[in-house]
Structure 1
Amino acid sequence: MLNVLLVEDDFDLAETVIAYLELEEINCDYASNGIAGLQLSQQNTYAVILLDLNMPGLDGLSLCQQVRSHGDATPILMLTARDQLTDKLDGFAAGTDDYLIKPFELEELAVRIQALAKRRSGQSQRLCYRDLEMNLGQHRVTRAAKEIKLSPTAWRILETLLRAAPDMVSRQELITTVWGEDGPDSDSLKVHLHHLRKAVDGPFANPLVQTITGYGFAIKAEDNSG
């Protein structure tokens, strides 16, 4: 039986989730706030942590960051009513592995838990699209097994795009994620993207770093098949 931790301040939802997961042979420890959740995560070993984003006191993002800062690689599934890409990128930046948007089907929750538990690599240590792979643990990027050297900024840009791939990331979202609120001018972003394209796409016939005119950027194949 899998052991998971649910950190959720909605008691009714938590009760429903716990009862359903028990039927799926998933044992669930429960904390109603972030502080209690952090304590349980430090005291016990879990296959997966289920984490509500909006909680009073210590919110989901802050809790996720603290779990990761302590070297805990337990997979984290964020439960949230927020469905904007910026919210997801903030969560991935904090260290979450996956998102489930409320309201969700309990069957899907159980499937996601099982998938994360099998992967058991903490925040995805490998981000992949087609033959492009980023290994976060080894700080290594390869394409078709060929190693690619990137500057720190190009690395952050690629990581942001790979986390969303093949979906698009707007220009402003990319700037905010990589540089923060006080981002550089557009020429600086253009230069870094030029170097990223040269490194990732230059030696290959099929480009993956795409500009979506009027919107932003994406890691996707030109045939749009994902």
Structure 2
Amino acid sequence: MRILLVEDDADLGPAIARALRAEHFAVDIAANGIDAGHLGETETYDAAVLDLGLPHRDGVSVLRDWRAAGRDLPVLILTARDAWSDKVAGFKAGADDYLTKPFRVEELVMRLRALVRRAAGHAATRLECGPIGFETQTGQFELDGLPLKLTAFEWRVLSALMLRKDTVIERLDLMERVYEGDADVDSNSLEVIVGRLRKKIGRDRIETVRGRGYRLTAGDAA
């Protein structure tokens, strides 16, 4: 899962990014409204965390322009503004959730996971595909009921496939959800990650659709 974090506080922004990365999210940071508007309209994100009080452009205007441009990514407003009028303005602009500062990082993470899950069309918090289970609120994967140990990149790939199981995810789309915007990505790095996942969950459970991408299926254990 790739998150756009829009936060101008020079200490808080990196601290939130570190906390999200510790939960396996890929994170891009924008510290002002102009950069936020550009990234939100041109890059692929599973969700955005958006502050309201930003340099150059207010967060509400950024969000309003995203929606006008047809960008439907889930947006969680994270701000010190707790007045009812600010909340109304945020939701009218197209926000999906609203969290005020100070906050607990654990709550932010759970809200983000819930937003991404619902955006993918899932109401239940636990997803299953054959013997693979995914507890979306904790981020824990299981195989045959036992915890599955994954690297951050493996988790991002498998979560993207799990949220859209039985659906082909194009290679470029999958890469955009796995790597941060400034990452130096090797041309075959995604294939390496998929290969490692196949060794952990079973070769036939991730299907390669030639010329398009990958699809997660119940598959066989072979």
Q: TM-score, normalised by structure 2?
A: 0.53
- Report the RMSD for the aligned CA atoms in angstroms: 1.4
- CA offset at residue 40 of structure 1? 1.0
CA contact (8 A) 1:73 1:121 kept: no
Offset at 1:121? 7.0
Task: Name the structure 2 match of 1:89.
Answer: 88
Larger radius of gyration: 1
What residue is the counterpart of 1:11 in the other structure? 10
Quick one: which amino acid aligns to residue 81 of structure 2? R
- Contact persistence 1:52–1:78 (CA under 8 A): yes
The code of the aligned residue for 2:77 comes to M
Q: For 2:35, give the aligned amino acid.
A: A
Distance in structure 1 (CA, Å) of the matches to 2:31 and 2:85: 26
Residues 167-208 of structure 1: per-residue CA shift (max 9 Å, x gap): xxxxxxxxxxxxxxxxxxxxxxxxxxxxxxxxxxxxxxxxxx
Q: Name the structure 2 match of 1:64.
A: 63
- The residue correspondences of 1:35-114 to structure 2 (distance < 5 A) are 35-114=34-113
Distance 1:68 1:47 in 2: 15
Q: 1:95 to 1:121 in 2, by over 3 A?
A: farther
- Distance in 1 of aligned mates of 2:119 and 2:73: 7
Question: Which consecutive residues of structure 1, in runs of 5 or more, have no partner in the other structure?
Answer: 123-226
For the residues of structure 2 that align with 1:53 and 1:117, how far apart are their CA atoms? 21
Summarize the alignment of residues 174-193 of structure 1 with structure 2, pairs less than 5 Å apart. Answer: none
Q: Distance in 1 between matches of 2:50 and 2:120?
A: 17
Higher normalized contact order (CA 8 Å, seq sep 6+, divided by chain length): 2
Q: Percent identity?
A: 45
* In structure 1, distance between residues paired with 2:62 and 2:33: 6
Unaligned segments of structure 2, at least 5 residues? 122-222
Deviations 1:26-80 (A, max 9, x none): 1110111011011111221101011001012111000000000001110100011
What SS does the aligned partner of 2:11 have? helix
